[in-house]
């Protein structure tokens, strides 16, 4: 039917279709609903046959459904100002001039029950052999489908508890704000503020989820009342809220807004006959509107909020933070693969008995050289491992690898090499892992006894939960495994707890050792730790020894062991064994 429209205009005495479509008038035959063709009558949706002579649209026939649903179109030829009618007629007249066989479009109109939606189809038909082609107009009511779609859409972008926008809705709303912004000042800023309620999970655990929901509703109501309708507020999920607004006065304005938010949230809330005070971590991002991207703006605020959790104060995103966060994410992803594929290695730093200058052990230290990222410092990947939970897998690997290395040295030397292996145990691993089972398995697989292993625990890990630590340490002692408290002096030790714990060695942190000869305060702290170790019948290891004078001073003060670059840097397994061989022959001068 590609030539039907051309034929139509030829029948009208025109050589070709006109370039411009006249604004059509509509005429409904008085008997348009009579003598309806049987096939038109059989259609289960509104339908009509329309002819068009270039100036007038004639409704030649229509079925009862069309007459009922589009009665206004038939009864009221004057359609000026009725948008949906004008749109429909424009579509029909445009179709009459086109060479298309079919055209589809939606029309919307308002009724007392709300918006009605019809999917319309236009097609050329030949009613009889001797009649001119006419346009079949059909309309399928999609109002119910549209309402379902709108309902699903609202559910998709809205939080079911508070009815605020959710994470998806917030992102779309921020994007919309950027698109709609028409401010005259291009330097006007736009800010996203992320609010993370602190201790929310503890409230859920203590009072139940209903109390938690009540708290969320109370906070949402307070924020909405305080911020007003001009500022976008959303609940991003769980205990996290998001705010977006334009900032004409720069950082001073956002600091004032953050203070208002903080005051609003920290006011006590009454839940289950209890008055509860809550705190929050706040992170903000702020950029000129002209430079803003919605996703980047939100990510920056979330990065700042994570910093706020650590510092306990509101944080404004600083350039470079997102790059650091992305690097941490990349490290986590690569570390997961590296642990699975055996890409890490252990280096061994000797521990020296200061009185005899002999090697008594080695501390096993994880090292990582990634093919793509290069050498990654433990300062970078250990915190990532702890944050992600990968430190459990990392700790198991290090323990097993260190014990197997002892077995390898024994086999190579044809004797039991008289050194112990120090292996660090993360506080996270203490909480999440079955430490005793892990250590037992590593010793058994390497065919080693517990007296060749020293477990190093941080001061915070031991003192943080003394009761659990005591159970763990007693179990280690039963297996003849020594325990060293690492980084001693940098935390907040409880002397009563320290006295009751079966600890063998206190490791003096390098921050006290490195400058002790020129810093009297550090010297005093080092002496105090050595006196404490002696009083508690413990030995002491000084870390970070970098010159002979410090080593001699520590030996004279009664320090048992030393460790640091003065003796040796961490080295691979073969070099470590050779170091022990050489030092056992001649001592260390």
Predicted pLDDT at 25: 55
Exposed, middle or buried, 384 (CB in 10 Å: 0-12/13-18/19+)? buried
Nearest in space to 158 (alpha carbons), one of 61, 265, 79, 233: 233
Does residue 153 lie within any of the structural domains? no
Q: Is residue 377 part of a domain?
A: yes
Looking up residue 447, the CATH number of its domain turns out to be: 3.20.20.450
Verify that 190 and 141 share a domain, yes or no.
no
Is residue 588 a part of any domain in this protein?
no
Please tell me whether residues 380 and 463 are part of one structural domain: yes
Q: Which residue has the tokens 């060479």?
A: 99
- Regarding whether 213 and 93 lie in a shared domain, the answer is no
Two structure tokens written together for 187: 């330097």
Q: Quick check: is 587 in a domain?
A: no
For residues 235 and 367, membership in a common domain is answered with no
Kindly state whether residues 78 and 119 are assigned to the same domain. yes
Q: Where is the domain boundary, 120, 148, 176?
A: 148
Instruction: Output DSSP code: residue 280.
Output: E
In a domain, 18, yes or no: yes
Could you tell me the sign of the dihedral formed by the alpha carbons of 545, 547, 552, 557, in that order?
A: negative
Same domain? 338 vs 437:
yes
pLDDT given at position 9: 39
pLDDT at 497: 64
Which candidate, 136, 137, 139, places its Cα nearest to that of 108?
Answer: 139
My answer on whether 81 and 26 are in the same domain is yes
Reference 543, options 519, 559, 524; nearest CA is 559
Rg (CA), the chain: 39
| Alpha-carbon span 226 to 293, nearest angstrom | 27
351 neighbors 563 (Cβ within 8 angstroms): yes
Count up the domains in the chain and report the number: 3
CA end-to-end distance (rounded Å), the chain: 103
Give exposure, 303-340, as e/b (b: 16+ Cβ within 10 Å). Answer: bbbbbbeeeeebbbbeeebbeebeebeebbebbeebbe
Of 456, 459, 405, 449, the residue nearest 563 (C-alpha): 456
What pLDDT does 27 receive? Answer: 58
Q: Enumerate the H helices of 181-277 as residue ranges.
A: 200-207, 209-227, 251-266
End residue of a domain, out of 290, 319, 348:
319
**The pLDDT value given to residue 455:** 94
The position carrying tokens 């007038």 is 56
Is 478 within the bounds of a domain?
yes
Report in angstroms the alpha-carbon separations of 245 from 76, 160, 253, 361.
48, 23, 11, 60
Q: What is the CATH classification number for the domain harbouring 234?
A: 3.30.70.270
Q: Residue 452 carries which DSSP code?
A: G
Phi-psi region of 278 (alpha: psi -120 to 50; beta: other; left: phi over 0): beta
Helix (H, G, I), strand (E, B) or coil at 406: helix
Question: 61 and 189 share a domain?
Answer: no
Residue pointed to by tokens 């938690």: 212
Binning the chain into helix, strand and coil, the percentages to the nearest 5 are 45, 25, 30
Crossing angle of the two packed helices 435-446 and 391-413, in degrees rounded to 10: 30
Can you spell out the DSSP letters for 56-69?
EEEEEEE-HHHHHH
Whose CA is closest to 203, among 111, 279, 105, 291? Answer: 279
Helix spans in 21-166 (H): 38-42, 64-69, 71-75, 83-97, 143-157
pLDDT for the residue 22: 47
Q: Which residues pair with 197 in a beta bridge?
A: 280
Name which of 525, 534, 485 is nearest 506 in CA terms: 485
Residues 196 and 117 grouped into a single domain: no
Helices of type H across 160-236: 167-180, 200-207, 209-227
How much is the pLDDT for 1? Answer: 40
In-domain check, residue 589: no
Q: For residue 556, tell me if it sits in a domain.
A: yes
Q: Which residues pair with 140 in a beta bridge?
A: 119
- 317-322 long-range CB contacts below 8 Å, 24 or more apart? 317/283, 317/284, 317/285, 317/286, 322/296
* pLDDT per residue of the chain (589 residues) written in tens, 0 to 9: 444 444 443 443 344 444 444 445 555 555 565 678 888 888 999 999 988 877 777 888 889 899 888 887 777 655 554 788 888 888 988 898 887 899 999 999 888 888 899 999 999 987 666 677 889 999 999 999 888 888 888 888 898 899 999 999 999 999 988 888 765 566 688 899 999 998 888 888 778 888 888 889 999 999 999 888 889 999 998 899 999 988 876 677 888 888 889 889 888 888 777 788 888 899 999 888 888 888 889 988 998 898 888 887 888 887 766 677 778 888 888 898 898 888 899 999 999 999 999 999 999 999 999 888 889 989 888 988 888 889 999 999 999 999 999 999 999 999 999 999 999 998 888 888 899 999 999 999 999 999 999 999 887 777 667 777 888 889 999 999 999 988 786 765 556 667 778 889 999 988 899 889 988 999 999 999 999 999 889 999 999 999 999 999 999 999 999 999 999 999 999 999 999 998 887 654 4
> What is the residue range of 76's domain?
4-148
CATH of the domain at 65: 3.30.450.20
Residue 104's beta-bridge partner residues? 121
Report residue 116 as tokens.
Answer: 């009605």
DSSP-assigned beta bridge partners for residue 9:
none
CA dihedral 161, 162, 163, 169 (to 10 degrees): -100
Q: Are residues 266 and 213 in the same domain?
A: yes
How many other CB atoms are found less than 10 A from the CB of residue 132? 15
Give yes or no: residues 345 and 434 share one domain: yes
Of the candidates 255, 287, 319, which is a domain's last residue?
Answer: 319
pLDDT of residue 18: 43
Same domain? For 132 and 216 the reply is: no
């Amino acid at each position: 039917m590609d030539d039907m429209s051309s034929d139509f205009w030829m029948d009208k005495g025109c050589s070709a279709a006109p370039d411009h479509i006249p604004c059509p008038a509509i005429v409904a035959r008085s008997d348009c609903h009579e003598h309806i063709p049987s096939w038109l009558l059989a259609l289960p949706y509104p339908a009509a046959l329309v002819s068009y002579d270039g100036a007038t649209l004639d409704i030649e026939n229509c079925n009862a459904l069309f007459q009922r649903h589009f009665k206004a179109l038939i009864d009221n030829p004057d359609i000026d100002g009725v948008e949906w009618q004008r749109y429909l007629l424009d579509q029909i007249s445009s179709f009459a001039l086109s060479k298309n066989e079919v055209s589809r479009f939606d029309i919307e109109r308002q009724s007392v029950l709300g918006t009605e939606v019809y999917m319309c189809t236009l097609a050329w038909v030949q009613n009889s052999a001797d009649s001119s082609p006419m346009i079949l107009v059909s309309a399928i009511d999609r109002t119910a489908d549209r309402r379902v779609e709108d309902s699903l859409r609202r559910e998709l972008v809205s939080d079911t508890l508070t009815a605020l926008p959710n994470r998806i809705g917030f992102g779309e709303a921020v994007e919309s704000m950027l698109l709609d912004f028409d401010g005259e000042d291009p330097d006007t800023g736009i800010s996203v503020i992320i609010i993370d309620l602190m201790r929310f999970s503890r409230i859920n655990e203590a009072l139940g989820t209903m109390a938690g929901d009540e708290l969320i509703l109370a906070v949402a109501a307070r924020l909405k009342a305080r911020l007003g309708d001009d500022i976008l507020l959303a609940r991003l999920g769980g205990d996290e809220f998001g705010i977006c607004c334009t900032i004409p006065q720069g950082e001073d304005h956002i600091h004032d807004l953050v203070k208002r938010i903080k005051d609003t949230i920290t006011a006590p809330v009454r839940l289950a006959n209890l008055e509860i005070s809550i705190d929050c971590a706040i992170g903000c991002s702020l950029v000129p509107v002209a430079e803003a991207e919605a996703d980047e703006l939100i990510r920056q605020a979330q990065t700042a909020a994570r910093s706020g959790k650590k510092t306990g104060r509101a944080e404004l995103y600083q350039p470079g933070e997102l790059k650091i966060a992305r690097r941490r994410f990349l490290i986590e992803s690569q570390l997961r693969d590296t642990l699975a594929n055996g890409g890490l290695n252990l280096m061994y730093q000797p521990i020296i008995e200061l009185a005899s200058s002999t090697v008594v052990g080695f501390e096993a230290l994880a090292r990582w050289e990634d093919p793509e990222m290069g050498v990654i410092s433990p300062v970078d990947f250990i915190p990532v491992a702890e944050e992600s939970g990968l430190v459990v897998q990392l700790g198991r690997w290090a323990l097993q690898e260190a014990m197997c290395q002892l077995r390898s040295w024994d086999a190579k030397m044809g004797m039991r090499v008289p050194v112990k292996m120090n292996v660090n145990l993360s506080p996270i691993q203490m909480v999440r892992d079955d430490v005793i089972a892990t250590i037992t398995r590593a010793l058994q697989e390497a065919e080693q006894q517990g007296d060749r292993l020293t477990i190093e625990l941080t001061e915070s890990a031991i003192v943080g939960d003394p009761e659990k630590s005591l159970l763990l340490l007693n179990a280690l002692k039963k297996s003849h495994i020594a325990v060293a408290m690492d980084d001693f002096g940098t935390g907040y030790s409880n002397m009563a707890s320290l006295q009751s714990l079966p600890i063998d060695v206190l490791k003096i942190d390098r921050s006290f050792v490195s400058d002790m000869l020129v810093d009297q305060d550090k010297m005093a702290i080092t002496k105090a730790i050595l006196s404490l170790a002696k009083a508690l019948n413990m030995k002491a290891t000084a870390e970070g020894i970098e010159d002979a004078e410090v080593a001699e001073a520590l030996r004279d003060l009664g320090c048992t062991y030393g460790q640091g670059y003065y003796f040796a840097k961490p080295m691979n397994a073969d070099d470590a064994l050779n170091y022990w061989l050489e030092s056992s022959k001649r001592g260390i001068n």
